[in-house]
């Protein structure tokens, strides 16, 4: 085997939370960047404390020797027109392009309850018929094609709890209806399990040729079950400890990364875990997540000569 030079990045959620600003709200961006670089991460996804100006963003990341991995975009194509969506996203796309990003993290937020503390996950929005699914997929295809032509950026669709595309069946349908040249998949291990994939690796293998980006998020299965049983919201589950970093929960990241390695995946592995830093200290947990992935990546990338 050849060494696997897949890059490992992190989302700033380990230090500060966009949906729950009280979590890590006092932590300066410089702390997250300094600690992330010190741990060994080579890039960061964006969050609400990063500069919005493209050049300023590039400068602050360069100060710590970090790359801009990508950034979440709150999409509205479930109801919006492609034209309006391209206009709404243009500043974000220009920022990503300026900073050398190759993909857009697209999260559908139309009707989403992911940011609502008071609404249980069972009340998430759903498409009610095939025509709605087909129309949505068609808009995603056009949007994805346009951002690729204009900015050289790939649409990486983030399936997410509390949104239209949550379950394995939703992911299957979206992948079947969209054009691989226009819409890629952001595979999130934690959301895959939470969404109903008892075996996230099987779901990953099913769609692995569409995967352009991976969020490595571990879960505490008992907390997920409790959240479901009690009819709690997504954010209530987060506060109760639904998610954690790789190596600290119930998912098998050896199997996840093995599947990606076998498929010659070359995109980012991004540690992402919505947690309260007062309960899960940022540096310690970010370090644990990095060391877990680095150990597995290094093992998978050992050459035959070294094995013998």
Is residue 207 very low, low, confident or very high in pLDDT (cuts 50, 70, 90)? very high
pLDDT in tens, 124-177: 999 999 999 999 999 999 999 999 999 999 999 999 999 999 999 999 999 999
Residue 202: which residues within 8 A CB-CB, separation 6 or more? none
Tens digit of each residue's pLDDT (9 = 90 or more) over 47-90: 999 999 999 999 999 999 999 999 999 999 999 999 999 999 99
Long-range own/partner contacts, residues 168-177 (CB < 8 A, 24 or more apart): 168/192, 168/195, 168/196, 168/197, 168/203, 169/196, 170/195, 171/195, 171/203, 171/207, 172/206, 172/207, 173/133, 174/133, 174/137, 174/140, 175/207, 175/210, 177/133, 177/134, 177/137
What per-residue confidence (pLDDT) applies to 271? Answer: 98
Alpha-carbon span 151 to 102, nearest angstrom:
9
Across residues 201-223, what is the average pLDDT?
Answer: 98
In tens, the pLDDT along 267-284 reads 999 999 988 888 889 999
User: Residue 156: which of 266, 50, 72, 217 has the closest Cα?
Assistant: 72
pLDDT in tens, 8-17: 999 999 898 7
Q: DSSP string covering the chain, please?
A: -------EEE-GGGT--SSSTTTTTT--HHHHHHHHHHHT--EE---TTS-SSHHHHHHHHHTTT-EE---EEEE-TTTS-HHHHHHHHHHHHHHHHHTT--EEEEEE-TT--TT-TTS-GGG-----SHHHHHHHHHHHHHHHHHHHHHH--EEEEE--TTSSS-SHHHHHHHHHHS-TTTEEEEEEHHHHHHTT-SSHHHHHHHTGGGEEEEEE-EE-HHHHHHHHHTT--HHHHHHHT-EE-TTSSS--HHHHHHHHHHTT--S-EEE-----TTTS-HHHHHHHHHHHHHHHHHHHT--HHHH-
CA distance 41 to 181: 30
The model's pTM is: 0.95
Give CATH superfamily name and number for 8-301. Answer: Divalent-metal-dependent TIM barrel enzymes (3.20.20.150)
* More confident call, 172 vs 25: 172
Beta bridge partners of 214: 187, 269
């Amino acid at each position: 085997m050849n060494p696997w030079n897949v890059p490992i990045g992190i989302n700033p959620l380990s230090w500060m939370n966009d949906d729950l600003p009280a979590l890590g709200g006092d932590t300066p961006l410089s702390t997250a960047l300094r600690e992330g670089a010190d741990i060994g991460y080579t890039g960061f996804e964006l969050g609400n404390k990063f500069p919005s100006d493209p050049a300023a963003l590039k400068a602050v990341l360069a100060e710590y020797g970090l790359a801009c991995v990508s950034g979440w975009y709150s999409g509205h194509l479930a109801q919006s027109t492609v034209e309006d969506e391209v206009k709404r996203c243009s500043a974000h796309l220009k920022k990503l392009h300026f900073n050398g990003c190759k993909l857009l993290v697209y999260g559908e937020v139309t009707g989403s309850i992911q940011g609502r503390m008071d609404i249980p996950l069972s009340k998430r929005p759903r498409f009610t018929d095939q025509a709605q699914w087909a129309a949505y997929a068609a808009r995603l295809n056009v949007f994805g094609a346009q951002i690729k032509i204009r900015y050289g950026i790939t649409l990486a669709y983030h399936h997410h709890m509390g949104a239209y595309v949550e379950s394995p069946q939703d992911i299957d349908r979206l992948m079947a209806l969209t054009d691989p040249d226009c819409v890629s998949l952001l595979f999130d291990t934690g959301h895959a399990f939470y969404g109903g994939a008892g075996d996230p690796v099987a779901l990953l293998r099913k769609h692995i040729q569409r995967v352009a980006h991976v969020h490595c998020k571990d879960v505490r299965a008992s907390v997920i079950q409790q959240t479901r049983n009690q009819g709690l919201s997504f954010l209530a589950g987060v506060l109760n400890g639904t998610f954690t970093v790789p190596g600290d929960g119930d998912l098998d990241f050896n199997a996840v990364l093995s599947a990606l390695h076998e498929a010659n995946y070359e995109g980012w592995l991004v540690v992402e875990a919505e947690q309260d830093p007062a309960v899960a200290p940022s540096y310690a947990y970010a370090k644990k997540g990095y060391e877990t992935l680095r150990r597995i990546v290094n093992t998978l990338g050992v050459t035959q000569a070294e094995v013998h």
